[in-house]
Structure 1
Amino acid sequence: MNQTPLAIGQTAILSRDGLQALIDGLIERRYRVIGPTVRDGAIVYDDIAGVQDLPAGWTDRQAPGSYRLERRDDQALFGYAVGPQSWKRFLHPPLELLFTAHLGQAGMTIEGGEGSEEGSGEAPQAPERFAFVGVRACELHAIAIQDRVFQEGAYVDQGYASRRAGTFIVALNCGTAGGTCFCASMQTGPKADAGFDLALTELHPWPEESGTPDAAGGDFLVEVGSEAGAALLGQVPHGPPSDAQLAAARAIVARTAGQMGRTMHTDGIKALLQDNPGHPRWAEVADRCLSCGNCTMVCPTCFCTTVEDHSDLAGASAQRVRRWDSCFTLDFSYIHGGSVRHTTQARYRQWLTHKLANWIDQFGTSGCVGCGRCITWCPVGIDITEEIDALRGAAEPAQRSSDGDPHGGT
């Protein structure tokens, strides 16, 4: 192993000890390192200190309205799809303090939160510097979509921009497709193509019958995506990849692309949704939908919020906070006189049409990255790929296995 600096686009081989050294290097640079870990029966994103915190030997089996963890037959660190959380919760937190107002003898004083703007007279709080480890390709695209929403328009969300500016991203090329994944349909994965500092492909032994080239168990092919990534990797023991390891990495990604649990037919989808507000399918799906908002909470791109003011009983201080909201709540579209969308049918139609059609008009891209979370975490198993098939008038949705997992959860 050596520590020779690499240029952007170059690759190297990293051992598990090297991955630990990389995490140590991030901690030494005072990043708050966030990665996947097992907690409460799911793989979630939380603080990690090293390789020992990663979900070694675990995979997930996902289907509409169903998620469970299972043991793998190896000790792969990233042998799962995606869990209930997305990186959105760190860059666009569920609850954010905008400012606190204090009333004293000298008058009113304002203490700013992360949403404070320069020149406002408020004192903004310094944001944490995050390092995300194990960011999938679909999630990189989701972060890029939220970048457009929050910081590339006429009005910049200062809190988001400050958190995003200091983020270091270690991406992960997928070696496992979930039963509800359809990133290949959305052209957002399974290989990370941009938006990362370093990108890993886990090279672990595959079953002999798979025909996939064998690779040294526990090693990672790492690609440099930025100058910051090159600088960090240059301080971590690494070595040159062999032709067999490069071939194995390509085969792993190709295998995953061929194992998507779902397919989204996107041809003409914008017109399909915008031109069919009276389609009978909206009423049919509304009969099942609970308007619970789970799909918007787990979605890595949904950004709807509400603002609330709270004061203490003495009237000496008050806080303005912003929290996640959902277009499925009755109050979300409330204006003087009532809610604009008072039926579940109207709210579901609004969500799906905005996500897959109107979003293109607003931001130049679909609001869906094919992660499949909205399907897995819907209590009644509503499948948006099936809904699109139904709106097209397809006689039968695409054939799927009985448990929704086309590859047996490996």
Structure 2
Amino acid sequence: MRRSFYRLDCSVLSALLDLLKQRGYSLLGPQVCGNAIRWKPLEQLADLPAGLTARLAPSEYRLQDGTNGGFFQHPGGLDSIKPILHPPRQTITTIRKAGDQLEVVQETPPSIKRAFLGIPACELAAVAALDRVLLQNGEADEVYSANRSEAFFIAVHCTHSAPTCFCASMGTGPRARTGFDIALTERLDGEHPEFLAEAGSSLGTRFLEEANAPPAPPEWARQSNEATQRAAEGQTRKVNRQAVREVIENTFDHPRWEQTAKRCLSCGNCTSSCPTCFCVNYEEQSSLDLSVAQRVRVWDSCFTHSFSYIHGGSIRLTPKSRFRQWVSHKLARWHDQFGVTGCVGCGRCIVWCPAGIDITEEFAVLEQAASPLITAGGSPHGH
């Protein structure tokens, strides 16, 4: 579809949010929760973290005052929207005993209309990746489908990059290209924020028209592109995504895996914070009087010892093997399975690793080691 551009001040943006609520959408947006920015139910624009940003570094996240009063000048928050679309804990089946009778209830969640305000480009790419895994990879996941089917996405093009961002090298940002209903570029030239709104779907266009959003000045679209390009050029971390498969295949036995594994705590923070990690396990639970039993689905992590357990024991017994599995799958094997990258360059795994392990630094070491083999056309190990 041909993109249309609109000019939104705070009153028009508020009117847009009111329209969404009138149409039955539950609003969610980034808000301060404790000492972090998280996705929470949104009532009004004043709930957004105006004037706040965050200092991000390996194993560091600190909220701090920004240099302006913008609503969306903070980098990615504590969590992505993955826990909302793909909950960390979900009851699948409940069995109740009443006398000699058993009642079996399949806990299929109802579809929920949610509107997300302020999604960065990397998170939209993560949603697209989860769509490939949980909707388009054979039988659709009922829980994810129910949470995803009526989602309305209002993206925000990033005009500033955090030190831990590397979305530009992954081709997933800072500018959102697809997957949104409306995309905003925040402008801070005047006393109050204004927004360039770009319609990405017919539904997005309809809401902008109903909110009486006026057309944007012609130069705003060009200025938006220039701002996101500067944000991309300002990123210092990167991964050579064109070389990832060959690098991983040619460094299976490289000593770097063991060196980094000595720092890894196998805590699973990286998989929990990653917006595309999707693995789950199932637990059977019952009440003390045995009148109720439930099957519950919970997030799992490939960093746990039990994750690779089959009859006879676990396959990946060491932190080295588990760390190598995660990096290899995230950067390379996703392409083989799903045709898209498993890493969107959001940098959350860098921030939330208590040991400060940086996936871009690890890849740079491996890429340097693999370069002579790749240049010489060396054969991969085939593991």
Q: State yes or no: 1:157 paired with 2:129.
A: no
* 1:197 partner amino acid: D
Is this contact kept in 1: 2:111–2:149, CA < 8 A? no
Taking the aligned partners of 1:138 and 1:68, their CA distance within structure 2 comes to: 21
Q: State yes or no: 1:323 paired with 2:298.
A: yes
1:382 equivalent in structure 2: 357
Match of 1:225 among 196, 200, 204: 200
2:256 equivalent in structure 1: 281
1:185 equivalent in structure 2: 169
Q: State yes or no: 1:81 paired with 2:75.
A: yes
Taking the aligned partners of 1:252 and 1:269, their CA distance within structure 2 comes to: 29
Q: State yes or no: 1:344 paired with 2:319.
A: yes
1:275 is displaced (CA, Å) by: 3.2
1:250 is displaced (CA, Å) by: 2.1
Q: State yes or no: 1:98 paired with 2:87.
A: no
Taking the aligned partners of 1:25 and 1:177, their CA distance within structure 2 comes to: 31
2:377 equivalent in structure 1: none
1:28 equivalent in structure 2: 22
Q: State yes or no: 1:203 paired with 2:190.
A: no
1:314 equivalent in structure 2: 289
1:255 is displaced (CA, Å) by: 1.6
Taking the aligned partners of 2:208 and 2:308, their CA distance within structure 1 comes to: 48
1:70 is displaced (CA, Å) by: 1.3
2:306 is paired with a residue of what secondary structure? Answer: helix
The two structures have a TM-score, normalised by structure 2, of 0.93
Taking the aligned partners of 1:149 and 1:161, their CA distance within structure 2 comes to: 11
5 Å-filtered alignment, 1:115-154, equals 125-154=109-138
2:157 equivalent in structure 1: 173
The two structures have a TM-score, normalised by structure 1, of 0.87
5 Å-filtered alignment, 1:342-381, equals 342-381=317-356
5 Å-filtered alignment, 1:229-240, equals 229-240=204-215
* 2:71 partner amino acid: L
1:49 is displaced (CA, Å) by: 0.6
1:82 is displaced (CA, Å) by: 0.4
Is this contact kept in 2: 1:8–1:230, CA < 8 A? no
* 2:249 partner amino acid: Q
1:305 equivalent in structure 2: 280
Is this contact kept in 2: 1:8–1:227, CA < 8 A? no
1:52 equivalent in structure 2: 46
Taking the aligned partners of 2:195 and 2:343, their CA distance within structure 1 comes to: 29
User: Following superposition, which runs of at least 4 residues in structure 1 exceed 6 angstroms of deviation?
Assistant: none
Taking the aligned partners of 2:194 and 2:7, their CA distance within structure 1 comes to: 7
Provide the aligned length of Structure 1 versus Structure 2: 370
Is this contact kept in 1: 2:57–2:350, CA < 8 A? yes
Aligned-residue sequence identity (percent) comes to: 43
Taking the aligned partners of 1:133 and 1:317, their CA distance within structure 2 comes to: 39
1:239 is displaced (CA, Å) by: 1.2
Q: State yes or no: 1:245 paired with 2:229.
A: no
Taking the aligned partners of 2:165 and 2:157, their CA distance within structure 1 comes to: 14
1:227 is displaced (CA, Å) by: 1.5
* 2:73 partner amino acid: G
Is this contact kept in 2: 1:99–1:321, CA < 8 A? yes
1:251 is displaced (CA, Å) by: 2.2
Is this contact kept in 1: 2:35–2:63, CA < 8 A? yes
Larger mean Cα displacement after TM superposition, 12-21 or 241-250: 241-250
Taking the aligned partners of 1:188 and 1:246, their CA distance within structure 2 comes to: 19
Structure 2: which 5+ residue stretches go unaligned? 371-383
1:81 is paired with a residue of what secondary structure? Answer: coil
Taking the aligned partners of 1:271 and 1:394, their CA distance within structure 2 comes to: 11
Is this contact kept in 2: 1:8–1:226, CA < 8 A? no
* 1:389 partner amino acid: A
Match of 2:66 among 52, 61, 72: 72
1:136-192 per-residue CA deviation (whole Å, 9 max, x = no partner) reads: 111101000000000102121111112111101101100220110000000001111
